[in-house]
Chain A
Amino acid sequence: MNQKISKGLLETKSVYLNIRDPFIFPSGRISPVYVDCRRLISYPNIRDEVVAELVRIATDKIGLDQTDVVAGGTTGGIPFATFLAQAINRPLIYVQKSPSGSGSSRQITGVIEKGQKVILVEDVTADGVSVLRFKGGIEIAGGRLTHCLCVFEYRSDKFAMQDARETLSKQGIVLHSLITWDDILEIAREENYFTRDEYEQVLSFLKNPNHWWQNLSR
């Protein structure tokens, strides 16, 4: 786990909590917490930590020989994909969630050659559905996607919440994430970031993310 980045997310107030007026995700899930990794691009020191960690995973876990092209998912993934592509000197493309225009590369901006190995960089992965849409766009353009790197993954091993990981592995994509809920909760508890009640609500959400909303006594 990466303590500095987890701490950074809390210090920069990028973990939002709102129990009375919860967040609604694109998937329709209702959540008391929302993590905004995009805020990290505004803090060069924490950003450097993120970049170093992305480079470490790309080098040690994926392998630079497995990385022909770095792709950013629009729009939140693009800055992080750019930082990584810059650090490892690789071509950069970005991918739209849905096709526009015509031709085989209508989800892609930049150049993909047939058979190139692409790694996708995302800011956040929740259920993994958007990663699959990006995968479709990359493969129609002739690329191959087998690794996705994300800054924050909506996952908790403690509470057996790992939707994205399973969904993606069934489609042949290995998900690598810098931090998960377990990391955030550990630091949040050490630093009393949440009140006791807030902490309980977050736990109750992680234990049962699809039904937290119904169980909430209001």
Chain B
Amino acid sequence: MEKAQNRIAELLLETGSIQVFQDRPFVFVSGRISPVYIDCRRLLSFPDPREEIVGQLARKAEREIGLEAIDVVAGGETAGIPYAAFVSQKLNKPMIYIRKSPKGYGQTRQIEGVLEVNQRVLLVEDLVTDGMSKLRFNIGIRAQEAKITDCLCIFEYSSDRLGLCEGRKNLADHDIRLHTLANWDHVLNVGLAKNLISDESSKQILDFLAEPEGWGRKMGFE
């Protein structure tokens, strides 16, 4: 199990989907300063690692949820749509996608595709942080009297070592089970073992994860 998770982390580092700062840290739109940057959308451009990761997503869904417990595979606009499409095709399940807000013309709808009352929805996304965007998508699904029972993501912004599991907790509060392929612990393990992350960077990432707000100031970046 650990081995599979480490492999995913390795693929994310190798494809540059997770990047660690060299000289200058990353500055997010929110203004937060970070030593790491995650963009799983990059992975879409690397067919072989992508296929390996999509295969793992599909296997996890079959094993942990079961095909009979999934009626529809959903993707959230926009980054979730390709991953939902890959997984729905692998599982041979109907797909839908959820807009952030309803479209303004034609059929005004937040859900594209066909969703029926009481259907059990598997939401597939690249990344889960605090889970709030997933809960917003769930409002759209609930409005159609269906429900998201499970959420499947490539990367979970969490660490067992640091007791960081905000997204998992928030989703559990809404009866959504979370299934993910890797988290920060795996990225740091593999990064150190394969020399993709230095000891120093690893310490900084842990520092940042433990206290994201103050990291930039502490490092003298602001």
Task: Identify the A interface with B (CB < 8 A).
Answer: 12, 16, 23-26, 34, 36, 38-39, 41-44, 47, 51, 69, 72, 74-76, 78-79, 81-83, 85-86, 89-94, 109-111
Q: A16-B107, A34-B106 are in contact. Are A85 and B47 (CB under 8 A)?
A: yes
Q: A23-B105, A25-B105, A39-B114 are in contact. Are A111 and B85 (CB under 8 A)?
A: no
In the complex, the answer to whether B77 meets A75 with C-beta atoms within 8 Å is: yes
B32 CB, nearest partner CB in chain A, Å: 17
In the complex, the answer to whether B45 meets A92 with C-beta atoms within 8 Å is: yes
The digit string for B45-86, where 1 denotes a CB below 8 A from any CB of A, is 111101100100000000000000000100101110110111
In the complex, the answer to whether A39 meets B113 with C-beta atoms within 8 Å is: yes
Looking at B87-95, B164-172, B175-183, the stretch in contact with chain A turns out to be: B87-95
Bound together, the chains give a CA A72 to CA B92 distance in angstroms of 21
Which residue of A26, A39, A42 contacts B72 across the interface (Cβ within 8 Å)? A42
User: Chain B interface secondary structure, helix, strand, loop or mixed?
Assistant: mixed
Residues of B within 8 A of A51 (CB): 89
- Who on chain A is nearest to B39 by CB? A109
B207 in contact (CB, < 8 A)? no
Residues of B within 8 A of A12 (CB): 114
In the complex, the answer to whether B81 meets A92 with C-beta atoms within 8 Å is: no
Task: Identify the B interface with A (CB < 8 A).
Answer: 41-42, 44-48, 50-51, 54, 72, 75, 77-79, 81-82, 84-86, 88-89, 92-97, 99, 105-107, 112-115
Bound together, the chains give a CA A110 to CA B93 distance in angstroms of 26
Residues of A within 8 A of B106 (CB): 23-25, 34, 36
In the complex, the answer to whether B44 meets A76 with C-beta atoms within 8 Å is: no
- Who on chain A is nearest to B92 by CB? A44
Residues of A within 8 A of B99 (CB): 75
In the complex, the answer to whether A111 meets B42 with C-beta atoms within 8 Å is: yes
Which residue of B48, B78, B86, B112 contacts A94 across the interface (Cβ within 8 Å)? B78
Bound together, the chains give a CA A16 to CA B107 distance in angstroms of 10
Q: A79-B81, A83-B85 are in contact. Are A38 and B45 (CB under 8 A)?
A: no
In the complex, the answer to whether A92 meets B44 with C-beta atoms within 8 Å is: yes
